Amino acid sequence: MAASLQAAATLMQPTKVGVVPARSSSLQLRSSQSVSKAFGVDSAGARISCSLNNDLKDLAQKCVDATKIAGFALATSALVVSGASAEGVPKRLTYDEIQSKTYMEVKGTGTANQCPTIDGGVDSFAFKPGKYQAKKFCLEPTSFTVKAEGVNKNAPPDFQNTKLMTRLTYTLDEIEGPFEVSPDGTIKFVEKDGIDYAAVTVQLAGGERVPFLFTIKQLVASGKPENFGGEFLVPSYRGSSFLDPKGRGGSTGYDNAIALPAGGRGDEEDLAKENIKNTSSSTGKITLSVTKSKPETGEVIGVFESIQPSDTDLGAKVPKDVKIQGICWFPSYSWLLFPFIHFEWNSGDEVPNNIDSMDEVPGALGSSASLALRFGQTIFSSGSILFMSFHVEFYSYTSFCYLVTVMGLVIPWSMALGLVDGYAVFFKNLPRRPRVMLFVVAGDWVLAFLSLAAACSTASVTELLMHASQPNCPAKLCNRYQISAATAFLSWFMLFASSLFNLWLLASL
């Protein structure tokens, strides 16, 4: 860079050019005496001098000027190249790379206005059918064109290139909503929340500025992954409480700020649109296409094209069609809803897309066999507590108290999972996730061992009470204790079966 500038400065120094003097040749034209006398002028001599020396000096000066221009162009090119490499478009980063950077590393670089990219993955949509939750949906425009009159006379309206007047704050981010993949390969996304609008202003070639609200509010997009889309709501660029320079607004301000024209027609049609503010919303349409996906992290990247109306100045202007093209990115997380617990995947978790049908493994979570097992666990656990509680003195024995406590834990656990199984069997299958299955397997194994210990201890204590040298309980009461222990054994057996089936399912994920 420094060498380029120094060379350019050297070339721009004034240069002396030596010219060998040459013999000048002159041609003298003498006016005719008769002509002089005829026109009444005195005779005079006119001399035209063609000097080779002057021509060479002019040529040398032109060469010096050309050298200066070339040096200036060289210096300018060096500055442009160095500036482009120093402050050009930043490198597009992955989601993990962006998260690893600090605020000061991102500030002023333009990275915050970019959507992440995908490292690896496949060049297609590779997600299995099921329900997902799209988080951090990002839309980054790369092109703004406005439909306007052509530059040439009688040219039809067409989308023309524009100059962006807004700072790097036009990207939509943190958008979320349910994302569903059907068995036939169609997908559906419903926008629910997020930073789903951004005020943008662009300028046409003639100098006209076009403001609009880039948004995808209430978007419902469906179709094949390579081409899906839908309509969305475009709110008014200004709110109803906005006042124009004359103090007029939609819900506040003056009703009329224009003097009555001749004839007394105050709110004529061409003036009414300036006085009556219109804040009604309009609609736009967007088309998205998935170009790459990474099932390991649940990330999807693609392109989009949106056409929406521009600002109407609260109804005073006719809106223009604005075409917005760019890239989109979002991670999709599978979900499972328990009655009181909601589990979600974060970006650093394991594979979130294993969502095969839950009834592939009989007895696993979400199957009809699992529903029957949970129902049996609830019935036998409740029966064990009831038979044990018929005698108010059961708390005198630690084993009996332990049995009541364990069965009291099994009942809500089995009922909660039974509700999940019932929903999956009678309504729709729920997606499976390794973390959720690990939680269910751990709970089943812990309660199974506790139930086995409680049943064994209760049966042992009851046997001792019945065959002691001096029996401490009547035969009828001991029979109830035995029935309570037997139902606890049955509850343990069903818990153990559920834990084995779910462990088998967890190993297959």
Looking at per-residue pLDDT, the higher value among 334 and 84 belongs to 334
The pLDDT value given to residue 350 = 41
Q: Is residue 39 part of a domain?
A: no
Q: How many folded domains does the chain comprise?
A: 3
Q: Residue 13: which domain range?
A: 1-20+49-88
List, for residues 386-433, the tens digit of each pLDDT value. Answer: 888 766 566 677 888 888 889 989 999 999 888 888 888 887 666 667
CATH code at position 219: 2.40.160.30
Phi first, then psi: give them for residue 432, nearest 5 degrees: -100, 145
| pTM of the predicted protein model | 0.51
Separate counts of helices (H) and strands (E) for the chain: 10, 17
The pLDDT value given to residue 91 = 87
Spatial contact of 447 and 354, defined as CB atoms under 8 Å apart: no
Residues belonging to the chain: 509
Show Cβ contacts of residue 367 under 8 Å, excluding neighbours closer than 6 positions. 358, 359, 361, 421, 424, 425
Q: Which two tokens stand for residue 92?
A: 């597009």
Regarding whether 171 and 304 lie in a shared domain, the answer is yes
Q: Rounded CA gap, 119 and 184, in Å?
A: 28
DSSP annotation of 83: H
Regarding whether 332 and 373 lie in a shared domain, the answer is no
Regarding whether 226 and 156 lie in a shared domain, the answer is yes
Show Cβ contacts of residue 75 under 8 Å, excluding neighbours closer than 6 positions. 4, 5, 8, 9
Residue ending a domain, choose from 294, 310, 343: 343
Q: Is residue 242 part of a domain?
A: no
Q: How far is CA 301 from CA 87, 261, 369, 398, in A?
A: 26, 58, 39, 61
Instruction: For residue 161, give the 3-state DSSP assignment.
Output: strand
Answer yes or no: is pLDDT of 341 > 50.
no
Least confident of 27-36, 373-382, 451-460: 27-36
The pLDDT value given to residue 322 = 94
Beta bridge partners of 26: 49
Single out the residue of 172, 171, 174, 286 nearest to residue 221, CA to CA. Answer: 286
- How many CB atoms sit inside 10 A of residue 246's CB? 13
- How many CB atoms sit inside 10 A of residue 226's CB? 13
Phi first, then psi: give them for residue 240, nearest 5 degrees: -70, -20
Q: Is residue 267 part of a domain?
A: no
Q: What percent of the chain has pLDDT over 70?
A: 70
Spatial contact of 53 and 21, defined as CB atoms under 8 Å apart: yes
- Judge residue 242's burial from the number of C-beta atoms within 10 Å of its C-beta, 0-12 exposed, 13-18 middle, 19 or more buried: middle
Answer yes or no: is pLDDT of 338 > 80.
no
Looking at per-residue pLDDT, the higher value among 467 and 181 belongs to 181
List, for residues 206-239, the tens digit of each pLDDT value. Answer: 889 999 999 999 999 999 999 999 999 999 988 8
Regarding whether 188 and 128 lie in a shared domain, the answer is yes
The pLDDT value given to residue 421 = 85
Q: What is the mean pLDDT of the chain?
A: 76
Phi first, then psi: give them for residue 114, nearest 5 degrees: -105, 145
Regarding whether 425 and 466 lie in a shared domain, the answer is yes
The pLDDT value given to residue 307 = 94
Answer yes or no: is pLDDT of 274 > 90.
no
Q: Is residue 161 part of a domain?
A: yes
List, for residues 342-372, the tens digit of each pLDDT value. Answer: 333 333 344 344 434 444 567 788 888 888 8
Regarding whether 365 and 336 lie in a shared domain, the answer is no
